[in-house]
Amino acid sequence: MLELKDLYFTVTDHESVKQRNIIDGVNFTFKKGLFYAITGPNGSGKTTLAKLIMGINEVSQGQIIFEGNDISKLTITERAKRGIAYSFQQPARFKGITFRDLLTIATGEEDEKKLLNIVSRVGICPLSFLDKEVDAKLSGGEIKKIELATTIAANPRLAIYDEPDTGIDLWTINPMVKLLKKELIEHLTTTIVVSHNRAFLEAADVIIIIDKGRFVYEGDLPKALHLLTDLSACTYRRPPEGEENAQCFR
């Protein structure tokens, strides 16, 4: 349903004026209704890839084919309208916009009952969250839950979650995994989760390991284990900001 063809994202370093491929020639096809987990060291290009698919980053070279159409040149809005949704690793914080407002934007729904239904379907946010402002006062975990909920509410055909477990308490991780699985089964949502968390890796049909902008492994978890325990593929020299919960699968 989603095909990445010889995909590159290239940036120019301002000081050295050298070109660097953050995404370095990726070829891969995601199949409809499967659960994918993308993992790999920090800075390997996971977020960059997700943003290329959503249209937030502009493709430097190659193509993104979604349900048979080349979407490489489409705007974010057009891709959203075609059914792609992305949960940001670092969600935006607003002023004067509530969780309810975001749900209304995502669904076009203003009816109180229907909005409450969505919140209870998502489950991980209490109903009382509805009128919370999505602002700087929210904790890291709260905003990640809201971010995930807005993605689910949009009823996407392809949902990409960028480190959804960051800041989330241990008790919520498993319900979150179950929720994404349930959405996948009920709506055949092709699901891509960027994560280092074993709960997501175990839930996935396909594990992708990315390193220096390249897919270095695509397959099941058992065969991925030796790579994940290999220090070269999974090193956290320093835990990056906001990723206190990132833990290596080893």
Ligand X SMILES: Nc1ncnc2c1ncn2[C@@H]1O[C@H](COP(=O)(O)OP(=O)(O)O)[C@@H](O)[C@H]1O
Chain residues binding ligand X by CB under 6 A are 11, 22, 42-48
Binding-site ranges for Mg ion (CB under 5 A) = 46-47, 89
Q: Could you tell me the strand order of the sheet in which 69-70 lies?
A: 19-30, 2-12, 61-66, 69-70
- Closer CB to another protein, 25 or 83, in the complex: 83
For residue 224, the minimal CB distance to another protein (Å) is 29
Q: Which of ligand X, another protein, Mg ion, none lies near 197, with the C-beta cut-off 5 to 8 A by kind?
A: none
Answer for which of 45, 91, 164, 167 binds another protein (CB under 8 A) is 91
- Rounded to whole angstroms, the maximal C-alpha distance in the chain is 57
Assess 193 for contact with another protein (CB under 8 A): no
Answer for which of 1, 34, 97, 130 binds another protein (CB under 8 A) is 97
Q: Which of Mg ion, ligand X, another protein, none lies near 85, with the C-beta cut-off 5 to 8 A by kind?
A: another protein
Rounded to the nearest 5 percent, the helix, strand and coil shares of the chain are 35, 25, 40
Assess 9 for contact with another protein (CB under 8 A): no
**Closest by CA position to 211, among listed 42, 30, 62:** 42
For residue 57, the minimal CB distance to another protein (Å) is 10
Assess 115 for contact with another protein (CB under 8 A): no
Q: Could you tell me the strand order of the sheet in which 206-211 lies?
A: 84-87, 158-162, 190-194, 35-39, 206-211, 214-219
For residue 23, the minimal CB distance to ligand X (Å) is 8
For residue 55, the minimal CB distance to another protein (Å) is 8
Question: Which of 92-126 are b and which e, b meaning 16 or more Cβ less than 10 Å from the residue's Cβ?
Answer: eeeeeebbbbbbbebbeeeeeeebeebbeebbbbe
- Closer CB to ligand X, 13 or 186, in the complex: 13
For residue 83, the minimal CB distance to ligand X (Å) is 23
Any idea what the Cα angle at residue 213 is, between residues 209 and 15, rounded to 5°?
Answer: 150
Answer for which of 35, 86, 129, 200 binds another protein (CB under 8 A) is 86
**Which stretch in 32-40, 62-70, 88-96, 223-231 sits in contact with another protein by CB under 8 A?**
88-96
Q: Coil, helix or strand for 115?
A: helix
Q: How many Cα neighbours within 13 Å face the side chain of 66?
A: 22
- Closer CB to Mg ion, 43 or 175, in the complex: 43
- Closer CB to ligand X, 157 or 196, in the complex: 196
| CA 193 – CA 144 distance, rounded (Å) | 13
Q: Are strands 61-66 and 69-70 parallel, antiparallel or unpaired?
A: antiparallel
**Closest by CA position to 85, among listed 15, 12, 153, 140:** 153
Q: Which residues bind another protein (CB under 8 A)?
A: 54, 56, 75-77, 80-81, 85-86, 88, 90-97, 101-102, 105-106, 150, 154
